Amino acid sequence: FLYGFGGTWKTFIWRVMLTALRSKGDIVLTGASSGIAALFIPGGRTTDSRFCIPLNVDEFSAKLIIWDEAPMMHKHCFEVVDRTLKDIFNSVEEKNKHIPFGGKVVVFGGDFRQILPVIPKGIRSEVVHATINSSALWNFCEVLTLNGQTVDDVHTPEFLNTISTSGLPNHKLGLKVRVPVMLLRNLNKKLGLCNGTRLIITRLRKCALEEKIIPGSNIGDQVFIPRFSLTPSDVRIPFKFQRRQFPIMISFAMTINKSRGQSLKHVG
């Protein structure tokens, strides 16, 4: 595990390891727990995107797997990848059955002081248990019971417009030119448009917003963000609905787990 807080050049170490192994013709898989962190790693992708693709076991199998910003992920995420790689490489060598990650070298990175796995509505003990045991989920259905009414009785447009959850833009954004915003979806990594990317609005249009990228290697690029239908992924919501909106939110400041790779050198 490569341990270091923001601004200690962890990305530089990743680049050295990538260059050293790839120059020998070896394959290195790179990923990060957030889209914005993946932008700073050559060929980086989010771990969700990286490991949903089946791994073919042959002579070209990966030599190294890099997982950046690991402390912000739930313990179960690592266990799933561990079991998957064990199952895959056990078909090649029986000894790999009991070796972590099927015998593949996995390097984790991050800072344990910055963030713990996010447990919605979680108390201190539940957040701690998320790194040790399974997390506790609270019953969202009980919250949606209003004055004895069932959930189905309150599925009105007015009620749906009041729902605010992680990854879902508000029903009413209140935008204007030159306001800073943050992207809530991974749209195009090559253009630097990932979940957590900050932008400044330069022009307002009916079906798209013209914006300028603030951080990363694509700083200053002009991009267009369309409006499209979004479905919340929050498991606590006991029903499915769509909200047609721009995938952004006004962002004058950022939380730690959204500011990956954007550490400030000077603050005034």
Indicate the pTM of the whole model. Answer: 0.52
Q: How confident is the model at residue 163 (pLDDT cuts 50, 70, 90)?
A: confident
Asked whether the predicted pLDDT for residue 257 surpasses 80, the reply is no
pLDDT mean over 6-24: 86
pLDDT mean over 169-190: 87
Element at 226 (helix H, strand E): strand 222-226
Contacts 24+ apart (CB under 8 A), 183-188: 183/225, 183/247, 183/248, 184/247, 184/248, 184/249, 185/230, 185/247, 186/35, 186/46, 186/49, 187/225, 187/247
Taking domain 2-110, whether its CATH number is 3.30.565.10 is answered by no
What confidence tens digit (pLDDT) does each residue in 193-228 have?
Answer: 888 888 999 999 888 899 998 877 788 889 999 988
Distant-in-sequence, close-in-space partners of 123: CB < 8 Å, separation ≥ 6: none
Asked whether the predicted pLDDT for residue 264 surpasses 80, the reply is no
Asked whether the predicted pLDDT for residue 261 surpasses 80, the reply is no
Give the type of residue at 172: K
Asked whether the predicted pLDDT for residue 148 surpasses 60, the reply is no
Radius of gyration of the CA atoms of the chain, in A: 21
Asked whether the predicted pLDDT for residue 149 surpasses 60, the reply is no
Pairing of strands 64-68, 45-46: unpaired
DSSP 56: P
- For 228, the 3-state DSSP assignment is strand
Asked whether the predicted pLDDT for residue 142 surpasses 50, the reply is no
Q: Where are the domains of the chain?
A: 2-110, 139-258
pLDDT mean over 26-41: 77
- Residue 33 has a pLDDT of 72
Could you give the count of Cα atoms lying within 13 Å of 211 in the half-sphere of its Cβ? Answer: 29
Average pLDDT, the chain: 75
Asked whether the predicted pLDDT for residue 147 surpasses 50, the reply is no
Q: For residue 144, give both structure tokens.
A: 């949606």
Full strand arrangement of the beta sheet holding 248-250: 222-226, 208-213, 198-204, 180-183, 248-250
Asked whether the predicted pLDDT for residue 155 surpasses 80, the reply is no
Q: What is the per-residue DSSP string for 93-136?
A: -GGGGGSGGGG-EEEEEE-TTT-----TT--HHHHHHHTTSPPP
Q: How confident is the model at residue 141 (pLDDT cuts 50, 70, 90)?
A: very low
What confidence tens digit (pLDDT) does each residue in 70-112 have?
Answer: 777 777 788 888 888 887 776 555 655 677 888 888 888 877 6
Closest CA to 176 of 201, 194, 195, 153: 201
Give, rounded to a whole angstrom, the gap between the first and last alpha carbons of the chain. 33
Q: How confident is the model at residue 114 (pLDDT cuts 50, 70, 90)?
A: low
Q: For residue 247, give both structure tokens.
A: 């995938």
- Residue 263 has a pLDDT of 60
With a pLDDT cut of 70, the percent of the chain lying above it is 72
d(CA 31, CA 81): 13
Element at 66 (helix H, strand E): strand 64-68
